[in-house]
Amino acid sequence: CLLHIAGPIVLVLLLAAIQIVGLHESHRQAELRAQLNAQNFGSVMAESISGSFSNIDLTLQEVIANLKAESAKPQFDKASFETTLTNLKNRVPSLVSLRVTNVDGEVIYGTNMPQPINVSDRDYFQTLQTRSAETMLISPPLMGRLIKRWVLICARRYNLPNGRFGGIVYGAIEVESMAERLSGRKINMGDQDLFAVVDSESNM
């Protein structure tokens, strides 16, 4: 009689154990798939965002080349140069502005300029003022003085014909929806999902 009772109980426990093991394995596989999907997503986004920053850098270099070419002419055509700036900005959807300063940090040419602006007190200007390397600088997030929203600044130094510092060329990217703007794609994320862009110094 005891065997008749114990037999079904053992069978039930065995089936329960198999079910628990199966659920655990299924959960583990789901976690692995989620991790793999996240890694693949991150890799694709990183490549896309890296390519977008490269495009911004090339745009800044093109602005500098056009600035030098226009400055070499007998008379600087400001209207023509600012049209060129607008066209270059429009080629990079992530940029909300594209501007050029003089040696004192005053913006002398630019898009989206409802009022005069001076950036000589900004860290990115001061860094490029003293740094001779011809590389693009990306600022930490800061509040845009004209658009009143958080932005990242991508900036390059340009030199005068005598080799001395002439000013900077810079473009601004809005931090809000930055990943979508830079990658050019809609990112669907859940309430518990987090997307972060981190630089080489672990700044987010």
CA gap 77, 81 in Å, rounded:
6
Q: What pLDDT is attached to residue 133?
A: 67
pLDDT in tens, 70-82: 888 888 898 899 9
Residues 6+ apart with CB under 8 A from 134: 156, 157
Give the pLDDT band (50/70/90) at residue 51.
Answer: low
- The answer to pTM > 0.75 is no
pLDDT in tens, 10-44: 555 566 666 666 666 666 666 666 555 555 545 54
CA angle centred on 200, ends 123 and 204, rounded to 5°: 70
Q: What average pLDDT score do residues 76-90 get?
A: 92
Q: What average pLDDT score do residues 115-125 get?
A: 92
Q: What pLDDT is attached to residue 61?
A: 95
Say how far residue 29 (Cα) sits from the centre of its chain. 33
